[in-house]
Amino acid sequence: MLDFAINDEMGTSDNLPPFLINNPSKEEMSVMTNLNISKRASKKQDFTGRRFGRLIVVEDIDSITPLDKKYVRCLCDCGNYKTVSLHSIKYGHTKSCGCLFTEMLVERNTSHNRGRHPIICVLYGMRSRCQDAKNGQYEDYGGRGVTICKEWENPENFFQWAMASGWCEGLNIDRKDPDGDYEPSNCRFVDNGLNSRNTRVLRKDNTSGYRGVFFKKKNNKWVAQISANSKRIYIGLFDTAIKAAKAYDAKARELDIGHPLNFDGGL
C-alpha cells in the first residue's frame, strides 16, 4: 500500500504533483484563450502589396482561425484573384492562381514554344475567366457573355499583339469597355492597381457605394484612398461619402492612369 506524505516542502504549488493541482474553471480557461488570441492578433503583419511568386497580396482577410491560419486575397499576374492562406504563399506551396500549372500542361502540347512566357500566362487567365464556369470570376466574365476574339485563339497571334501594344513585366490586360469583349480594339495593358479597380460594378463588400471610399468608425469619418503601381495612396478623411468620392475622383484625374471615376460628369 502506497503511503503519500505531503510535508511543508511538497505543499507548495510548484512542487505538488499534477493530479493534486485544481483544474482551472471554465471562466479562467475562457480568459486564457482570449489572451492567447489577442497575443496572436497583435503579432499580425500587413502583407498588402507584397509579391509571392505570381501573386500580389491586395487584401488582408483579417481572420485568425482556431488553427491560427491567416488568409489573404491575391491578384495573380494573369489577372485572376485567389484567396489563399498566408502560410501557403510564404513557403512557396502556392505560387499562382492555378495558371502556372495550366501553363505547364499546355506547354507540353504547344508548338509555338512560348508556354512559359508571362504574356501567354495572361491569355490563360482570360480563357479561364471567360470559359471555365468553376473560375471564381466567371460570373462577371463568361457568365455575362464576355468572350475572346477568334484571332486570339492562336496564342502566337496574342503574343504578337501584346508585344506591339506596350506589354512589359508586371502589367495586366484591361478592357477599356468593361462590358466589351477581349479583342485588340478594346484592350490595353495597365498596372495591377488600375486593373483591380476597372470593374463593371463595385465589389460586393463595398458599403459606401463609391470607389475608393469606406467608413472609419474610430474617427467617425469617411476615408478616401486610391491605388497606383500596386501601392495604396491615402487621400484623407471626410464628413460625407460623397465628399470622399469626389476627392477620390480628383486624385484619379491627377494620376491620369485610367482609374474609373465615381462621377463621370465631373466634380
For the stretch 42-51, pLDDT in tens is: 456 778 888 9
Question: Between 118 and 69, where is the model more confident?
Answer: 118
Statement: residue 38 has pLDDT above 60: no
Q: Give me the mean pLDDT over the 69-75 stretch.
A: 86
Statement: residue 260 has pLDDT above 50: yes
Give 183's pLDDT tier (boundaries 50, 70, 90). Answer: very high
The pLDDT, as a whole number, for residue 5 is: 46
Cell (9 digits) for 232: 495604396
The pLDDT, as a whole number, for residue 133 is: 86
The pLDDT, as a whole number, for residue 247 is: 92
Mean pLDDT of the chain: 75
SS3 156: helix
- State residue 238 phi and psi, 5-degree precision: -140, 155
Give the number of other Cβ atoms within 10 Å of residue 113's Cβ: 9
Alpha-carbon distances of 79 from 46, 53, 99, 109, rounded to whole Å? 22, 14, 10, 23
The residue extents of the domains of the chain are 51-90, 99-195, 202-267
Give the number of other Cβ atoms within 10 Å of residue 97's Cβ: 28
The pLDDT, as a whole number, for residue 86 is: 87
Comparing CA positions, the residue from 93, 50, 53 lying closest to residue 69 is: 93
Give 70's pLDDT tier (boundaries 50, 70, 90). Answer: confident
The pLDDT, as a whole number, for residue 196 is: 47
pLDDT in tens, 117-155: 788 888 888 998 899 888 877 887 888 899 999 999 888
Q: Give me the mean pLDDT over the 176-204 stretch.
A: 70
How much of the chain, in percent, has pLDDT values that exceed 70? 67
Cell (9 digits) for 174: 484591361
The alpha carbon of residue 3 and the mean position of all alpha carbons in its chain are separated, in whole angstroms, by 65
Fold of 202-267: GCC-box Binding Domain (3.30.730)
The pLDDT, as a whole number, for residue 20 is: 46
Are 94 and 55 spatial neighbours (Cβ–Cβ below 8 Å)? yes
Q: Give me the mean pLDDT over the 100-107 stretch.
A: 68
pLDDT in tens, 206-234: 667 788 888 888 889 999 998 877 678 89
Give the number of other Cβ atoms within 10 Å of residue 40's Cβ: 12
Give 238's pLDDT tier (boundaries 50, 70, 90). Answer: very high
**Which residues lie below 8 Å from residue 36, measured CB to CB, with a gap of 6+?**
none
pLDDT in tens, 12-33: 545 555 544 455 565 656 555 5
Are 56 and 75 spatial neighbours (Cβ–Cβ below 8 Å)? yes
Question: Between 61 and 129, where is the model more confident?
Answer: 129
